[in-house]
Amino acid sequence: MSPLENSSGNFQYILENYKEICYNVENAKAKYARPDDNIQIMAVTKTVEPEKINFAIKQGINLLGENRVQEFISKKNLYDKSAQVHFIGHLQTNKVKYIINDVSLIQSVDSFKLASEINRLAVKNNKTMDVLVEVNVGDEATKSGVAFNECVELVKSISQLENVSVKGLMAIPPIGCGEDVFEKMHELYQSIGEMNIKGVNMDILSMGMSGDYELAIKHGSNLVRIGTKLFGARKYFGG
Protein backbone atom coordinates (compact mmCIF):
# COMPACT_ATOMS: atom_id res chain seq x y z
CA MET A 1 0.00 0.00 0.00
CA SER A 2 1.32 3.45 -0.87
CA PRO A 3 1.49 6.04 1.93
CA LEU A 4 -1.12 8.14 0.12
CA GLU A 5 -3.65 5.35 0.30
CA ASN A 6 -3.16 5.26 4.04
CA SER A 7 -5.06 8.46 4.66
CA SER A 8 -8.79 8.01 4.78
CA GLY A 9 -9.12 11.14 2.66
CA ASN A 10 -7.97 9.06 -0.24
CA PHE A 11 -10.91 6.71 0.18
CA GLN A 12 -13.33 9.54 -0.49
CA TYR A 13 -14.35 7.93 -3.77
CA ILE A 14 -15.88 5.08 -1.74
CA LEU A 15 -18.16 7.59 -0.01
CA GLU A 16 -19.10 9.10 -3.37
CA ASN A 17 -19.85 5.63 -4.76
CA TYR A 18 -21.89 4.72 -1.70
CA LYS A 19 -23.98 7.89 -1.98
CA GLU A 20 -24.66 7.14 -5.63
CA ILE A 21 -25.73 3.56 -4.85
CA CYS A 22 -28.05 4.78 -2.06
CA TYR A 23 -29.51 7.35 -4.43
CA ASN A 24 -30.08 4.74 -7.14
CA VAL A 25 -31.64 2.30 -4.68
CA GLU A 26 -34.06 5.00 -3.47
CA ASN A 27 -34.86 5.89 -7.06
CA ALA A 28 -35.51 2.26 -7.97
CA LYS A 29 -37.78 1.88 -4.93
CA ALA A 30 -39.81 4.90 -6.00
CA LYS A 31 -39.88 3.90 -9.65
CA TYR A 32 -40.93 0.33 -8.97
CA ALA A 33 -43.50 1.17 -6.33
CA ARG A 34 -41.67 -0.23 -3.33
CA PRO A 35 -41.34 2.98 -1.27
CA ASP A 36 -41.71 1.32 2.11
CA ASP A 37 -39.47 -1.67 1.53
CA ASN A 38 -36.18 -1.92 3.32
CA ILE A 39 -33.47 -2.82 0.85
CA GLN A 40 -30.14 -3.80 2.33
CA ILE A 41 -26.94 -2.78 0.58
CA MET A 42 -24.19 -5.32 1.14
CA ALA A 43 -20.54 -4.43 0.55
CA VAL A 44 -18.82 -7.36 -1.17
CA THR A 45 -15.28 -7.42 0.15
CA LYS A 46 -13.29 -9.85 -2.01
CA THR A 47 -9.79 -8.51 -2.76
CA VAL A 48 -10.56 -5.26 -0.91
CA GLU A 49 -8.18 -4.09 1.84
CA PRO A 50 -9.65 -4.01 5.37
CA GLU A 51 -8.89 -0.26 5.64
CA LYS A 52 -11.25 0.43 2.76
CA ILE A 53 -13.89 -1.87 4.18
CA ASN A 54 -13.72 -0.10 7.54
CA PHE A 55 -13.99 3.24 5.79
CA ALA A 56 -17.17 2.01 4.06
CA ILE A 57 -18.56 0.86 7.43
CA LYS A 58 -17.95 4.36 8.84
CA GLN A 59 -20.01 5.78 5.98
CA GLY A 60 -23.00 3.62 6.87
CA ILE A 61 -22.43 0.15 5.41
CA ASN A 62 -23.57 -2.40 7.99
CA LEU A 63 -23.43 -5.63 6.03
CA LEU A 64 -20.40 -7.32 4.47
CA GLY A 65 -20.32 -10.22 2.01
CA GLU A 66 -17.45 -12.71 2.06
CA ASN A 67 -16.62 -15.07 -0.80
CA ARG A 68 -13.56 -16.96 0.23
CA VAL A 69 -12.89 -18.74 3.47
CA GLN A 70 -9.11 -18.20 3.41
CA GLU A 71 -9.36 -14.52 2.60
CA PHE A 72 -12.03 -13.98 5.25
CA ILE A 73 -9.93 -15.70 7.92
CA SER A 74 -6.96 -13.50 7.09
CA LYS A 75 -8.99 -10.27 7.22
CA LYS A 76 -11.77 -10.76 9.77
CA ASN A 77 -9.85 -9.61 12.84
CA LEU A 78 -9.12 -6.30 11.16
CA TYR A 79 -12.77 -5.51 10.46
CA ASP A 80 -14.80 -2.98 12.37
CA LYS A 81 -17.13 -5.25 14.34
CA SER A 82 -20.18 -3.02 13.90
CA ALA A 83 -21.04 -4.61 10.55
CA GLN A 84 -22.60 -8.03 10.18
CA VAL A 85 -21.00 -10.56 7.86
CA HIS A 86 -22.71 -12.96 5.46
CA PHE A 87 -20.89 -15.71 3.61
CA ILE A 88 -21.84 -15.52 -0.08
CA GLY A 89 -19.25 -17.64 -1.90
CA HIS A 90 -19.16 -21.29 -2.78
CA LEU A 91 -18.68 -23.17 0.47
CA GLN A 92 -17.10 -26.60 0.75
CA THR A 93 -18.56 -28.79 3.47
CA ASN A 94 -15.19 -29.24 5.14
CA LYS A 95 -14.73 -25.45 5.50
CA VAL A 96 -17.93 -24.65 7.39
CA LYS A 97 -16.08 -25.04 10.68
CA TYR A 98 -13.84 -22.07 9.88
CA ILE A 99 -16.69 -19.58 9.49
CA ILE A 100 -19.61 -20.84 11.58
CA ASN A 101 -18.87 -18.53 14.50
CA ASP A 102 -17.96 -15.44 12.50
CA VAL A 103 -20.87 -14.96 10.13
CA SER A 104 -24.51 -14.19 10.90
CA LEU A 105 -25.87 -15.87 7.76
CA ILE A 106 -24.69 -18.18 4.99
CA GLN A 107 -26.26 -17.22 1.64
CA SER A 108 -24.75 -19.97 -0.48
CA VAL A 109 -26.39 -23.18 0.74
CA ASP A 110 -27.09 -25.36 -2.27
CA SER A 111 -27.17 -28.94 -1.01
CA PHE A 112 -28.58 -30.95 1.86
CA LYS A 113 -25.09 -32.22 2.59
CA LEU A 114 -23.82 -28.69 3.19
CA ALA A 115 -26.90 -27.77 5.25
CA SER A 116 -26.41 -30.90 7.37
CA GLU A 117 -22.83 -29.99 8.16
CA ILE A 118 -23.92 -26.44 9.07
CA ASN A 119 -26.56 -28.00 11.33
CA ARG A 120 -24.07 -30.37 12.96
CA LEU A 121 -21.69 -27.51 13.80
CA ALA A 122 -24.53 -25.21 14.87
CA VAL A 123 -25.70 -27.85 17.35
CA LYS A 124 -22.15 -28.25 18.60
CA ASN A 125 -21.77 -24.49 19.03
CA ASN A 126 -25.19 -24.16 20.62
CA LYS A 127 -26.59 -21.79 18.02
CA THR A 128 -29.04 -21.58 15.14
CA MET A 129 -27.53 -20.65 11.79
CA ASP A 130 -29.52 -18.53 9.37
CA VAL A 131 -29.12 -19.48 5.72
CA LEU A 132 -30.36 -18.63 2.24
CA VAL A 133 -30.73 -21.29 -0.40
CA GLU A 134 -28.73 -20.39 -3.49
CA VAL A 135 -30.55 -21.06 -6.75
CA ASN A 136 -28.79 -21.59 -10.07
CA VAL A 137 -31.50 -19.61 -11.80
CA GLY A 138 -29.71 -19.40 -15.13
CA ASP A 139 -29.05 -23.14 -15.14
CA GLU A 140 -25.36 -22.45 -15.79
CA ALA A 141 -23.02 -25.42 -15.61
CA THR A 142 -20.23 -23.32 -14.07
CA LYS A 143 -22.31 -21.78 -11.30
CA SER A 144 -23.12 -23.14 -7.90
CA GLY A 145 -26.66 -23.20 -6.60
CA VAL A 146 -29.42 -25.78 -6.54
CA ALA A 147 -31.29 -26.35 -9.79
CA PHE A 148 -34.37 -24.14 -10.02
CA ASN A 149 -36.72 -27.11 -10.13
CA GLU A 150 -35.14 -28.72 -7.07
CA CYS A 151 -35.24 -25.66 -4.85
CA VAL A 152 -38.57 -26.30 -3.12
CA GLU A 153 -37.59 -29.83 -2.25
CA LEU A 154 -34.25 -28.66 -0.82
CA VAL A 155 -35.91 -25.93 1.26
CA LYS A 156 -38.31 -28.52 2.67
CA SER A 157 -35.56 -30.94 3.60
CA ILE A 158 -33.43 -28.20 5.21
CA SER A 159 -36.47 -27.14 7.23
CA GLN A 160 -36.18 -30.48 9.05
CA LEU A 161 -32.80 -29.51 10.48
CA GLU A 162 -33.28 -28.16 14.00
CA ASN A 163 -30.45 -25.63 14.10
CA VAL A 164 -30.60 -24.25 10.57
CA SER A 165 -33.14 -21.57 9.72
CA VAL A 166 -33.99 -20.78 6.09
CA LYS A 167 -34.48 -17.02 5.69
CA GLY A 168 -34.81 -16.72 1.94
CA LEU A 169 -33.15 -17.24 -1.42
CA MET A 170 -30.04 -16.02 -3.20
CA ALA A 171 -29.33 -15.95 -6.91
CA ILE A 172 -26.84 -14.65 -9.45
CA PRO A 173 -28.79 -14.12 -12.68
CA PRO A 174 -26.47 -14.64 -15.68
CA ILE A 175 -24.93 -11.47 -17.09
CA GLY A 176 -27.12 -10.07 -19.82
CA CYS A 177 -30.02 -12.44 -19.18
CA GLY A 178 -33.59 -11.34 -19.71
CA GLU A 179 -35.77 -9.76 -17.06
CA ASP A 180 -37.85 -12.93 -17.06
CA VAL A 181 -35.03 -14.67 -15.19
CA PHE A 182 -35.23 -12.10 -12.38
CA GLU A 183 -39.00 -12.42 -12.30
CA LYS A 184 -38.82 -16.21 -12.25
CA MET A 185 -36.69 -15.94 -9.09
CA HIS A 186 -39.15 -13.49 -7.54
CA GLU A 187 -42.04 -15.84 -8.22
CA LEU A 188 -40.22 -18.78 -6.68
CA TYR A 189 -39.44 -16.68 -3.60
CA GLN A 190 -43.09 -15.66 -3.24
CA SER A 191 -44.48 -19.11 -3.84
CA ILE A 192 -42.23 -20.71 -1.22
CA GLY A 193 -43.35 -17.98 1.19
CA GLU A 194 -46.95 -18.93 0.55
CA MET A 195 -46.28 -22.61 1.29
CA ASN A 196 -45.89 -21.81 5.00
CA ILE A 197 -43.23 -24.45 5.52
CA LYS A 198 -42.58 -24.78 9.24
CA GLY A 199 -39.39 -23.00 10.25
CA VAL A 200 -38.94 -21.38 6.83
CA ASN A 201 -39.29 -17.63 6.28
CA MET A 202 -38.96 -15.87 2.97
CA ASP A 203 -37.60 -12.61 4.42
CA ILE A 204 -34.61 -12.12 2.13
CA LEU A 205 -34.32 -12.23 -1.64
CA SER A 206 -30.62 -11.63 -2.27
CA MET A 207 -30.28 -10.70 -5.93
CA GLY A 208 -28.48 -7.97 -7.85
CA MET A 209 -24.85 -6.90 -8.11
CA SER A 210 -23.07 -3.81 -9.48
CA GLY A 211 -24.39 -4.28 -13.00
CA ASP A 212 -28.00 -5.19 -12.31
CA TYR A 213 -29.09 -4.11 -8.83
CA GLU A 214 -31.77 -1.71 -10.00
CA LEU A 215 -33.29 -4.38 -12.23
CA ALA A 216 -33.14 -6.82 -9.31
CA ILE A 217 -35.00 -4.33 -7.10
CA LYS A 218 -37.65 -4.07 -9.79
CA HIS A 219 -38.10 -7.82 -9.39
CA GLY A 220 -38.38 -8.04 -5.65
CA SER A 221 -34.80 -8.13 -4.39
CA ASN A 222 -34.35 -6.73 -0.90
CA LEU A 223 -30.63 -7.36 -0.54
CA VAL A 224 -28.20 -6.18 -3.21
CA ARG A 225 -24.57 -7.31 -3.16
CA ILE A 226 -22.23 -4.60 -4.42
CA GLY A 227 -18.49 -4.92 -5.00
CA THR A 228 -17.13 -3.06 -8.02
CA LYS A 229 -19.53 -0.10 -7.92
CA LEU A 230 -18.55 0.58 -4.32
CA PHE A 231 -14.83 -0.17 -4.13
CA GLY A 232 -13.80 0.10 -7.79
CA ALA A 233 -12.50 -2.58 -10.14
CA ARG A 234 -10.89 -5.56 -8.46
CA LYS A 235 -7.14 -5.91 -8.98
CA TYR A 236 -7.35 -9.59 -9.77
CA PHE A 237 -10.04 -11.99 -10.76
CA GLY A 238 -12.57 -12.18 -8.00
CA GLY A 239 -14.94 -15.00 -8.88
Ligand X SMILES: *Cc1c(COP(=O)(O)O)cnc(C)c1O
Question: What is the Cα–Cα distance from 126 to 163, expressed in whole angstroms?
Answer: 9
Which 3 state secondary structure label does DSSP give 107?
A: strand
Given 88, 131, 132, 137, the residue binding ligand X (CB under 6 A)? 88
Verify binding: residue 24, ligand X, rule CB under 6 A.
Answer: no
Residue with smaller CB distance to ligand X, 118 or 230: 230
Question: What is the Cα–Cα distance from 95 to 121, expressed in whole angstroms?
Answer: 11
Tell me the number of residues near ligand X by CB under 6 A.
15
Residue with smaller CB distance to ligand X, 193 or 238: 238
Which 3 state secondary structure label does DSSP give 21?
A: helix
Given 67, 111, 119, 221, the residue binding ligand X (CB under 6 A)? 67
**Angle 234-82-135 from CA coordinates, rounded to 5°:** 55
Minimum CB separation from ligand X for residue 227, in Å? 3
Verify binding: residue 46, ligand X, rule CB under 6 A.
Answer: yes
Strands 223-226 and 63-66: unpaired
Minimum CB separation from ligand X for residue 14, in Å? 14
Specify which residues 170 forms β-bridges with.
Answer: 134, 206
Which 3 state secondary structure label does DSSP give 132?
A: strand
Given 21, 44, 69, 106, the residue binding ligand X (CB under 6 A)? 44
Verify binding: residue 56, ligand X, rule CB under 6 A.
Answer: no
Taking the alpha carbons of 38, 205, 111, 239 in that order, is the dihedral positive or negative? negative
Contacts (CB under 6 A) with ligand X, residues 208-227: 209-211, 225-227
Verify binding: residue 166, ligand X, rule CB under 6 A.
Answer: no
AA identity, residue 172: I
Binding site for ligand X (CB under 6 A): 44, 46, 67, 88-89, 172, 209-211, 225-229, 238
